[in-house]
């Protein structure tokens, strides 16, 4: 082996360890961010589905009062079935201002998602995920 190759080899000794020590926290942080974004995306998808199903269930009711009660129950049940943990509970707002044959009902579901239990112990607290869905009321059905 030549002198140049040996001197180069001596200078690089330990560089792989140093690179791993420096890169490992960056890789772990990146992985944590990916997990947090996955939690937010999954929860957003489930909240959208809950809003859609709650609006549909509300549109099948005869009165606005029944629609509000059924929408809240449906959204809460769907989020519980999917094990979505809304830290403050799911908030369901139902708009029945256009409750008439051929009208519509609108449901907005919001959920506060905790993030500190996903990636890092000290990751910023929570994120609110909201979804709105509108479902038409049948034109030729009597509504109260």
Q: What is the 3-state secondary structure (H, E, C) of 62-73?
A: CCHHHHHHHHHH
| Average pLDDT estimate for 48-74 | 95
Average pLDDT value over all residues in the chain: 84
Residue 119 has what pLDDT?
58
Residues 6+ apart with CB under 8 A from 3: none
pLDDT band at 18 (very low <50, low <70, confident <90, very high): confident
Residues 6+ apart with CB under 8 A from 29: none
Tokens of 27: 């890789």
Report whether 19 contacts 43 (CB < 8 A). Answer: no
Residue 118 has what pLDDT?
67
* Interval 90-132: pLDDT, tens: 899 999 999 998 899 999 999 988 877 765 666 667 888 999 9
pLDDT band at 55 (very low <50, low <70, confident <90, very high): very high
Q: Cα–chain-centroid distance for residue 19?
A: 36
Residue 61 has what pLDDT?
92
Task: Reduce the DSSP state of residue 113 to 3 states and report it.
Answer: strand
CA distances from 26 to 22, 32, 115 (A): 7, 10, 19
Predicted TM-score (pTM) of the model is 0.77
């Amino acid at each position: 082996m030549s002198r140049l190759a040996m001197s180069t080899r001596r200078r690089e000794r330990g560089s792989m360890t140093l690179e791993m020590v420096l890169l490992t926290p960056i890789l772990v942080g990146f992985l944590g961010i990916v997990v947090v974004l996955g939690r937010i995306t999954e929860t957003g998808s489930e909240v959208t589905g809950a809003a859609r199903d709650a609006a549909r269930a509300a549109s099948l009711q005869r009165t606005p009062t029944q629609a509000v009660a059924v929408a809240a129950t449906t959204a809460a049940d769907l989020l519980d079935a999917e094990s979505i943990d809304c830290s403050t509970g799911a908030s369901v707002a139902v708009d029945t201002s256009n409750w008439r044959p051929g009208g519509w009902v609108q449901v907005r579901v919001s959920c506060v998602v905790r993030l500190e239990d996903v990636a890092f112990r000290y990751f910023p607290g929570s994120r609110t995920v909201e979804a709105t869905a509108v479902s038409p009321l049948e034109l030729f059905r009597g509504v109260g």
